[in-house]
Amino acid sequence: MKQLYKSIDQVNNVREIQALRRLSPHPNILTLHEVLYDRKSGCLVLICELMDMNIYELIRERRQPLPENKIRNYMYQLCKSLEHIHRNGIFHRDVKPENILIKQDVLKLADFGSCRSVFSKQPYTEYISTRWYRAPECLLTDGYYTYKMDVWSAGCVFYEICRSRAMNFDFPPKKGSGIRQLLPGISPDSISLMSAMLEYDPDDRLSASKALQHPYFEQPRTLEKHSLPYKIGLTEKSNTAASMNYLMRIAGQGRRQAMKPLPELAFQHHRPTFPMELPKLNVPGVSKTVPFSTLKFQSVFPTPGNSGKLPIIPSVKYIDTKFDIHQHGKSMMKPYHLPSLERKGGGF
């Protein structure tokens, strides 16, 4: 972001961040992964998913137009994105090829820095949108326009994709010939949809939700209906990870397996092979390190009285208690009888 921000509250109030958080997740809206804000410098960075290119980069160097099936697929996804943001109370106000990103056959709408709430009070900003895609009501009024301006801009993008080149707005003064003369290789349904999206009066202009019901999108609608059960996991023709029922069954098996007692693991303790030599230690009080094989140990805790030497323990005579009383006369030890213990209940 080019602007500098002074606080985290100001960052949270950024219109594009609020819009992306509100509109996500959607397959045709660019995903915001992370927001990085540096308090010291005031810099703000938005990290979004990586796409291959935008529509302008796709068509600018082409000599032949795109296949109509690919054009239909892209325009269907663009209308899906517009229908989603309009249904959530937001209109983009800057729909153009540079803000429409693609990755293989997936299209996503990006750059919501100019978006506005549908329920905000008019008049809006007069100088908005790129001039080549600006709706007539934006050019001829003092900010009194609606979300239908996005549909006009999408219609201009539709025309550019069909021609595979950017529009030339240096119009000479002459009578109009109509879109059909400029796009001779396009089907009648595409001309019908494009004309409905480029209606001069915004009240007569097609909305994004109505555009999705146009006969031009009959094929992608059919494909979407067939693929919908696989997306939500209602059918289970194959045990794939994309099936929600399959995942639920796997989770159930995991819960059942969790109830079974786990077998005891046999741990193998790796002990060193003896005899071995102990490592040398630098301990104060030991003047010489003695190898383990000599079996001679010295005290590492000397006492002041013996100057580091172990004290001499006097010998104690062992008295054998199993001697013959008849040979030695009376016993020097007095006999004692232990009291008997009563065990209750046979316990120990």
Catalytic residues, which ones? 94
User: What pairs with residue 36 in β-bridges?
Assistant: 45
What value, to the nearest 5°, has the Cα angle with vertex 35 and ends 51 and 52?
5
Are the C-beta atoms of 73 and 109 separated by less than 8 Å? no
71: nearest Cα among 182, 180, 186, 166: 186
Separation of alpha carbons 222 and 187, rounded Å: 19
Separation of alpha carbons 39 and 35, rounded Å: 13
Cβ neighbours of 283 (radius 10 Å): 9
